[in-house]
Amino acid sequence: MASEAAIVVFNVPAEVSSATAREGFSSVKARGSDDDVAPKAREREDFERLMKAHEQRVFRAAWRLLGRREDAQDAAQEVFLRLYRYRHRFDERRPLEPWLYRITVNVCRDLRRRRRVRQTASLEELEETRPLVSADPDPGAAARIAEERRIVEQALATLAEKERAALVLRDVQGLSTAEVAEILGSSQVTVRSQISRARLKIKKYRDRKLGGSPR
């Protein structure tokens, strides 16, 4: 029986490149049972492919916004669930990535507020963070990099929520100032100001840790 109901499915090609992943969803009509693949199964496959295309970025952003990998895992799951549940609200003419980041920022904010008691990872916890094992042939260099990362993670925890979001999206995720402003719902001037303050704070923290010249 042919169904007339219009449903939105995630239409991402099998070979997902970053550029194609930005294209996001497309709206199609549910086809009848004469299709080779049932619409629901195809929708599931498309959605899974879309997750694979974006999961690294979403997880990293959530990790840096929350400071804890366990929380980032919960957040990333919630982000993709919201993406699925509210897919009908997505404007197909626009790129998916900013929308995805906006969901990520909102989910992380909600999660942080729900777990206000725990707050974000404290500095003490970050001090104890075990550096990730690297396959780098130069163990000395790998250790230095791990140490640098640890210090920046600690510095991030000292930032205000908005400064942190602006810096993570701009410097870690590599979005443009205009994109960050759109995601955060702020002006570019405000975002630049937040980024500037955040960088200065991180520098100050890093200098103090490495014995530099904090000014």
Partner 1 sequence: MSCKDYEISCEPYQEMIALDAGGDLPATEVERLKRHLDSCAACRRFAGEMRDTQRSVALLADAPVDSEVLAAIRAGVLREVERDRRRPIPVRLPPRALALAAALIVALGALILLRANESGTTEQQPAEQPRVARTLPAAASQPVPPQPAAPPLIPEAVPAAPISETAGEEPAPRPPVTVSPETRLAERRPSVVPATSPAVTAAAAPPPGTPAAEPMIIKLVSEEADLVIYWLVQSPDEPIKETTNDEISAV
Reduced to 3 states, what is the DSSP secondary structure of residue 116?
Answer: coil
177 makes contact with partner 1 (CB under 8 A): yes
Reading the block at residue 175, the tokens are 């979005």
The dihedral region occupied by 62, where left means phi > 0, alpha psi between -120 and 50, and beta the remainder, is alpha
Q: How far apart are CA 123 and CA 63, in angstroms?
A: 15
Q: How far apart are CA 118 and CA 116, in angstroms?
A: 5
Site for partner 1 in 111-140 (CB under 8 A): 132, 134
- For the bound state, the minimum distance from the C-beta of residue 139 to partner 1, rounded and expressed in Å, comes to 16
199 makes contact with partner 1 (CB under 8 A): yes
Reduced to 3 states, what is the DSSP secondary structure of residue 32?
Answer: coil
Closer residue to partner 1, CB minimum distance, 56 or 119 = 56
64 makes contact with partner 1 (CB under 8 A): yes
Reduced to 3 states, what is the DSSP secondary structure of residue 35?
Answer: coil
List of residues contacting partner 1 (CB under 8 A): 40, 44, 47-48, 51-52, 55-56, 59-60, 63-64, 69, 73, 76-77, 80-81, 84-85, 132, 134, 145, 148-149, 151-153, 167, 170-174, 177, 192, 195-197, 199-200, 202-203, 206-207, 212-213, 215
